[in-house]
């Protein structure tokens, strides 16, 4: 170990592998419905895309899964909770849409209106 | 892409519950449904719920599953990891059953009142991977100290934090370091005392198993502060997992140049060597520990000279406990004021306790100083199991004493506990309920001391043996009121005349039980009765003739044929001469006719 810089390099590298355990303030918590209905409708690629995108964009977001959210006909469903607990629900998701949500909503804080449940009901 | 991390506790407690096979089982199940790229399995240190082990924590949900066995693994993998449905029956908090919401463990009763400083990363990082410690700001304190601070500034910061030795005595750590810094000469030593010997205490072991680097880093900081280049960790060979992890940690730190020559290009050299002890209790005493490191028989020497002046190889030495070291890096990182903001004025910071005995949540807890014993025992520990009544809590191991129900609202602190005739000790906390006999408890500790006394000074070698004999007399019904006076005066003599801390504090359990539970001692010597029903010699089993239904079940269960009577005709009777007080008749009787007196 030659300098503090060397240590910092190792730290940043190691941090990426354990972000989910660092307990730092998270900007959003993303929950993907992964019950049988969700999985059948293609929730797994959605979940994996979200995890990959969050890591690639390096944003403080937790991605977890839950069971049936109830609206089985609109699965895959993704719920985004902000730090205050306010919820945005995206429905009929796929990987492509998930990428958009990650970039626009999770990174740049703009809700992607066209995929939300409110928009669908109109 | 990884989205779930599974951390299996690999501390001693959970390893006994076969947690190592869980790791393999998890990997196997995860592979079988093709999640191996999404879920990773790691080993980690103690989370505290040792009584419920083996424990497994799941991130990012921050859920702990308790009592996980191989047959539960498939369910967790398929339900939780694949379908996102946490397995409620294995979660730590009962209240989690009410909602299907995923609960953060920090909101459970067991963790809510805790504050983890010394155990900070324990159970969160993989202790065998230095990168994970570095990711959690590990070794930044060492870097900061070596590049930005002078040794005096380091000592001042520690002094200002008010950190006191966590091994038991509570001596201010900063002052100890100052003494060693003031000593001339460039050959000095830093020792970590990991000879944890109190019955029922395992705080130090858990820190070393869960986060060994925190101790190594702190020892290097201490070395820089006092001007030492060599450190020893004195640890008992009875802690094989901790020793292994330490060895791994030392070699990883050396590889990265965080130990060794010219650390952080500052010109500071420091290396650490492990010395294994054979597990003698007296070697936790610093002068005896030094003797043992030097290869001599572990026996204490009179103080002064203090180790800070003349320690190992006659050179200035500081000796600190594992838990003390575990606080150092955080004080440097967050500042002395931060540390002072936790705990009380006279005892800043937190303390780790090993909860044991008659308590629901057996395990490891860390609370800020000033938390009351009641909070620790009832809120975190969950109180006595099986609806038994709480009787006392023993703190400080063989050097401490017992505290009663009325004293439970005492805030925890070094001085507060000493005032009540007990002491903080290294942090063992053994809860006793109505089924524990206080004389028997005192006898247990005295028996331990007699075994562990090194024999160098007469008061301890002979005195404690005599104390044990007196206690045996009381337990076996040969005691009188004079025995109690004799006991007390002998205790005071030993306290005043023994050579080392072990001997001087050895009578404490006797004195404290004698003061707090004198009525129990009197019941033993005057009424020849053991109120808790522990001392066999004083017990008597009788059959209540009014309740006896003449069924003969008791007689059939008696191993020594001490019960006579006739089925259906004659009431049964126990012959006290033959009775061996095994209690079989008491459990056998359906009508509650057998009574223990």
**Rounded-to-integer distance, Cα B79 and Cα B104, Å:** 18
Which runs of consecutive H residues, i.e. helices, occur in B256-377? 286-293, 322-334, 336-340, 373-374
Banded model confidence at residue A121, pLDDT cuts 50, 70, 90: low
Domain shared by B165 and B271, yes or no = yes
A15, two tokens: 């941090």
CATH number for A47: 3.40.30.10
Omega cis (within 30) before B304: yes
B403, two tokens: 């505290």
H or E element in which residue B216 lies: helix B212-226
B264/A2 touch (CB, cutoff 8 Å), yes or no? yes
Taking only the tens place, the pLDDT of each residue in A30-72 is: 999 888 888 888 888 999 999 888 888 888 888 888 888 888 8
DSSP code, position B377 = I
Domain shared by B186 and B238, yes or no = yes
Taking the CA of residue B137 and the nearest CA in chain A, the distance in Å comes to 7
Domain shared by B29 and B155, yes or no = no
Using an 8 Å CB-CB cutoff, list chain A residues near B60. 20-21, 62-64
Residue A55 lies in a domain: yes
pLDDT given for residue B318 in this prediction: 95
pLDDT given for residue B176 in this prediction: 94
Cβ neighbour number for residue B276 with a 10 Å cutoff: 15
Name the domain count of chain B: 5
pLDDT given for residue B47 in this prediction: 85
Domain shared by B404 and B498, yes or no = no
Using an 8 Å CB-CB cutoff, list chain B residues near A3. 147, 264-265
Domain shared by B141 and B22, yes or no = no
Residue B471 lies in a domain: yes
Residue A49 lies in a domain: yes
Domain shared by B477 and B562, yes or no = no
**Residue B549 in contact with partner chain A when CB distance is under 8 A:** no
pLDDT given for residue B440 in this prediction: 94
Domain shared by B203 and B229, yes or no = yes
Residue B530 lies in a domain: no
pTM of the model: 0.89
pLDDT given for residue B148 in this prediction: 93
Largest CA distance in chain B: 94
Answer for the pair B124, B136: CB distance below 8 angstroms, yes or no.
yes
Q: Which residues contact B399 (CB under 8 A, 6 or more apart)?
A: B168, B198, B423, B425, B501, B502, B505, B506, B508
Residues spanned by the domain of A65 = 26-121
**Rounded-to-integer distance, Cα B99 and Cα B110, Å:** 19
pLDDT given for residue B101 in this prediction: 52
**Rounded-to-integer distance, Cα B4 and Cα B24, Å:** 17
**Residue B224 in contact with partner chain A when CB distance is under 8 A:** no
Give the residue from chain B lying closest to A53, CA to CA.
B1
Across chain B, mean pLDDT equals 91
Name the domain count of chain A: 1
Domain shared by B366 and B502, yes or no = no
Angle formed at CA B496 by CA B494 and CA B497, multiple of 5 degrees = 65
DSSP code, position B463 = I
No. of helices (H) and no. of strands (E), chain A: 5, 4
CATH number for B275: 3.40.50.11540
pLDDT given for residue B511 in this prediction: 94
**Rounded-to-integer distance, Cα B335 and Cα B263, Å:** 22
3-state SS class at B404: strand
ipTM: 0.83
B35, two tokens: 């999640």
Domain shared by B360 and B446, yes or no = no
Across chain A, mean pLDDT equals 86
Answer for the pair B134, B150: CB distance below 8 angstroms, yes or no.
no
B529, two tokens: 């009765």
Residue B121 lies in a domain: no
CA distances from B225 to A107, B165, B174, B195, B258 (A): 45, 17, 10, 24, 16
Residue B117 lies in a domain: no
Domain shared by B366 and B513, yes or no = no
Q: How many CB pairs under 8 A join A and B?
A: 92
Residue ranges, chain B, pLDDT below 70: 93-105
pLDDT given for residue A15 in this prediction: 84
pLDDT given for residue B93 in this prediction: 62
CATH number for B503: 1.20.1440.230
Looking at B92, B107, B122, the residue that finishes a domain is B107
Q: Does the pLDDT at position A16 exceed 90?
A: no
Using an 8 Å CB-CB cutoff, list chain B residues near A70. none
Residues spanned by the domain of B323 = 130-340
Residue A101 lies in a domain: yes
Answer for the pair B62, B145: CB distance below 8 angstroms, yes or no.
no
B257/A2 touch (CB, cutoff 8 Å), yes or no? yes
Q: Which residues contact B485 (CB under 8 A, 6 or more apart)?
A: none
B265/A2 touch (CB, cutoff 8 Å), yes or no? yes
pLDDT given for residue B319 in this prediction: 95
Domain shared by B53 and B190, yes or no = no
No. of helices (H) and no. of strands (E), chain B: 25, 18
pLDDT given for residue A122 in this prediction: 63
């Amino acid at each position: 170990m030659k300098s503090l810089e060397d240590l910092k390099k190792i730290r940043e590298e190691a941090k990426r592998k354990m972000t989910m355990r660092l307990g730092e303030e998270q900007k959003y918590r993303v929950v993907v419905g992964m019950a049988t209905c969700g999985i059948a409708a293609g929730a797994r690629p959605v979940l994996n895309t979200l995890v990959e995108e969050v890591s690639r964009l390096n944003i403080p977001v937790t991605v977890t899964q839950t069971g049936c959210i109830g609206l089985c006909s609109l699965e895959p469903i993704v719920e985004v909770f902000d730090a205050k607990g306010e919820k945005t629900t995206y429905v009929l998701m796929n990987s492509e849409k998930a990428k958009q949500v990650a970039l626009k909503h999770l990174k740049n804080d703009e809700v992607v209106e066209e995929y939300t449940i409110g928009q669908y009901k109109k | 892409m990884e989205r779930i991390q599974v951390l299996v506790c690999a501390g001693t407690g959970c390893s006994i519950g076969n947690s190592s096979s869980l790791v393999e089982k998890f990997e196997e199940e995860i592979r079988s449904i093709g999640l191996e790229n999404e879920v990773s399995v790691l080993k980690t240190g103690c989370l505290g719920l040792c009584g419920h082990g083996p424990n497994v924590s799941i991130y990012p949900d921050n859920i702990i599953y308790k009592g996980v066995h191989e047959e539960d693994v498939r369910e967790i993998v398929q339900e939780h990891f694949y379908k996102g449905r946490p397995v409620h029956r294995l979660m730590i908090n009962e209240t989690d059953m009410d909602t299907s919401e995923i609960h953060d463990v920090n909101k459970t009763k067991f963790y809510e009142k805790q504050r983890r400083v010394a155990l900070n990363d324990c159970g969160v990082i993989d202790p065998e991977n230095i990168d994970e410690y570095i990711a959690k700001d590990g070794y930044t304190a060492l870097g900061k100290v070596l590049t930005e601070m002078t040794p005096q500034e380091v000592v001042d910061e520690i002094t200002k934090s008010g950190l006191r030795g966590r091994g038991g005595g509570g001596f201010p750590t900063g002052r100890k370091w100052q003494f060693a810094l003031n000593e001339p000469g460039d050959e000095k030593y830093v020792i970590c005392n990991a000879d944890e010997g109190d019955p029922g205490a395992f705080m130090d072991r858990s820190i070393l198993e869960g986060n060994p680097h925190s101790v190594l880093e702190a020892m290097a900081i201490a070395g820089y502060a006092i001007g030492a280049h060599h450190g020893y960790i004195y640890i008992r060979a009875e802690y094989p997992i901790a020793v292994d992890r330490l060895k791994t940690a030392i070699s990883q730190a050396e590889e990265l140049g965080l130990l060794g020559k010219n650390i952080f290009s500052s010109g500071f050299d420091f290396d650490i060597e492990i010395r294994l002890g054979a597990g003698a209790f007296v070697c936790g005493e610093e002068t005896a520990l030094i003797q043992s490191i030097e290869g001599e028989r572990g026996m204490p020497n009179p103080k002064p000279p203090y180790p800070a002046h003349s320690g190992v190889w006659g050179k200035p030495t500081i000796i600190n406990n594992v838990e003390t070291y575990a606080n150092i890096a955080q004080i440097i990182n967050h500042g002395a004021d931060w540390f002072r903001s936790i705990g009380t004025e006279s005892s800043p910071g937190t303390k780790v306790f090993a909860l044991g005995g008659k308590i629901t949540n057996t395990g490891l807890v860390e609370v800020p100083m000033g938390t009351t014993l009641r909070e620790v025992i009832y809120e975190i520990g969950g109180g006595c199991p099986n609806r038994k009544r709480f009787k006392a809590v023993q703190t400080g191991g063989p050097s401490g004493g017992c505290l009663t129900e009325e004293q439970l609202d005492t805030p925890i602190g070094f001085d507060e506990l000493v005032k009540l005739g007990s002491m903080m000790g290294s942090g063992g906390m053994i809860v006793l309920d109505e089924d524990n006999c206080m004389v028997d408890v005192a006898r247990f500790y005295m028996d331990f001391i007699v075994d562990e006394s090194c024999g160098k000074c007469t008061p301890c070698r002979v005195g404690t043996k005599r104390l044990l004999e007196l206690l045996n007399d009381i337990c076996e019904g040969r005691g009188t009121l004079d025995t109690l006076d004799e006991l007390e005066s002998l205790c005071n003599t030993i306290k005043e005349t023994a050579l080392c801390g072990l001997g001087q504090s050895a009578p404490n359990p006797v004195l404290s039980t004698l003061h707090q539970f004198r009525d129990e001692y009197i019941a033993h010597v005057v009424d020849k009765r053991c109120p808790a029903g522990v001392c066999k010699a004083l017990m008597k089993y009788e059959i209540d003739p009014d309740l006896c239904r003449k069924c003969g079940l008791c007689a059939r269960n008696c191993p020594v044929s001490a019960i006579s009577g006739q089925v259906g005709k004659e009431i049964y009777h126990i012959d006290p001469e033959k009775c061996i007080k095994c209690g079989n008749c008491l459990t056998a009787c359906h009508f509650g006719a057998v009574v223990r007196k």
